[in-house]
């Protein structure tokens, strides 16, 4: 679980609980005697790739530190409909009050992992790696990028600070690709430099002036194949723009090194999970 910003995660949990619970769970408080003990479990209602199970305990223990959580599967595991992901034990009122917050976090991360797994599986017969982007839910970046890794896909840069990615607007502001690369190298000689290009001429220029990674943006299969033929393995070639699940296999088979897919995080549907209170004799 490297790269997870734990301080930020705890702040997110605190905000989520405050948003949902507010001054108190009036329904549960009216019905359930405080301190009455019980059990519950979270179940997958559809096939799902699991990610973020550690959050169940982390959230519930914000409400009551005596809660215990037993996980039946590990993050990264693909489970079938009806699979029990984990069981929780503790006061019924705490389990019920924390239910929605737990599911909101878990369904989001499992959804990202499930979609990422589909993309990674589609290109597994090639050398191509599937990467995420910075198109993440505000505040959830480290968690969503963790879910991507759980599924066998990979992380692109974490933020604006850990790699240089020169895009069209940077080039326009700098005056040219060579100028942008030169300034970047001078300012941060220790960071990899990636350049986004729109055509073969820009690609050749980026390679000539020392880019480590060249990003072929919104190109068709013919252009991508030509780029691979021209550059080979002199630099890492990446493709972005229009990389759908139905198209990613063909892109990977051109021989590119990697594809970046914003949809892994910005368009992943939430996983279908449920939390049910168990009978007292279970």
**Does residue 135 carry a catalytic annotation?**
yes
Q: Is 39 a catalytic residue?
A: no
Catalytic residue among 61, 100, 185, 247: 100
Q: Which domains are present in the chain?
A: 6-119+269-277 (3.90.1170.20), 122-266 (3.20.20.70)
Looking at every residue in the chain, the average pLDDT score rounds to 96
Catalytic option among 93, 99, 194, 196: 196
Cβ within 8 Å of residue 15, ≥6 positions away: none
CB proximity list for 74: less than 8 A, separation 6 or greater = 50, 53
The share of the chain scoring above pLDDT 90, in percent, equals 96
Active-site annotation holds for 5: no
Mean pLDDT of 196-221: 97
Asked if 196 is an active-site residue, the reply is yes
| Residue 217 designated active-site | yes
Q: Which residues of 253-273 are buried (b: 16+ CB within 10 A; e: fewer)?
A: ebbbbbbbbbbbbeebeebbb
Q: What per-residue confidence (pLDDT) applies to 1?
A: 66
Give the pLDDT score at 35: 86
Rounded to an integer, the average pLDDT of 211-235 is 96
- pTM of model > 0.85: yes
For residue range 59-102, list pLDDT tens digits in order. 999 999 999 999 999 999 999 999 999 999 999 999 999 999 99
């Amino acid at each position: 679980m490297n790269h997870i910003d734990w301080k930020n995660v705890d702040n997110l949990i605190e905000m989520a609980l405050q948003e949902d619970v507010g001054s108190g769970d009036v329904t549960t408080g009216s019905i359930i005697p405080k301190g009455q003990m019980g059990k519950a479990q979270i179940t997958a209602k559809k096939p799902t790739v699991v990610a973020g199970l550690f959050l169940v305990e982390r959230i519930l223990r914000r409400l009551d530190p005596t809660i215990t959580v037993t996980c039946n599967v590990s993050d990264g595991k693909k489970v079938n409909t009806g699979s029990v992901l984990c069981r929780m034990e503790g006061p019924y009122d705490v389990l019920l009050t924390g239910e929605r917050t737990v599911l909101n976090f878990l369904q989001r991360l499992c959804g990202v992992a499930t979609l990422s797994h589909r993309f990674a599986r589609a290109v597994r017969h090639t050398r191509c790696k599937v990467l995420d982007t910075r198109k993440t839910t505000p505040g959830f970046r480290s968690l969503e990028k963790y879910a991507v890794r759980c599924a066998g896909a990979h992380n692109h840069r974490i933020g604006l600070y850990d790699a240089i990615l020169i895009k069209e607007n940077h080039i326009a502001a700098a005056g040219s690709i060579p100028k942008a690369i030169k300034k970047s190298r001078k300012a941060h000689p220790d960071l990899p430099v990636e350049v986004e290009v729109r055509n073969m001429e820009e690609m050749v220029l980026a390679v000539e002036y020392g880019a480590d990674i060249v990003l072929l943006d919104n190109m068709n299969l013919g252009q991508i194949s030509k780029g691979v033929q021209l550059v080979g393995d002199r630099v890492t070639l990446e493709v972005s723009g229009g990389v759908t699940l139905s198209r990613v296999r063909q892109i990977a088979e051109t021989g590119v090194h990697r594809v970046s897919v914003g949809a892994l995080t910005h368009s992943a549907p939430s996983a279908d999970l449920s939390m049910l209170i168990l009978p007292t004799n279970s």
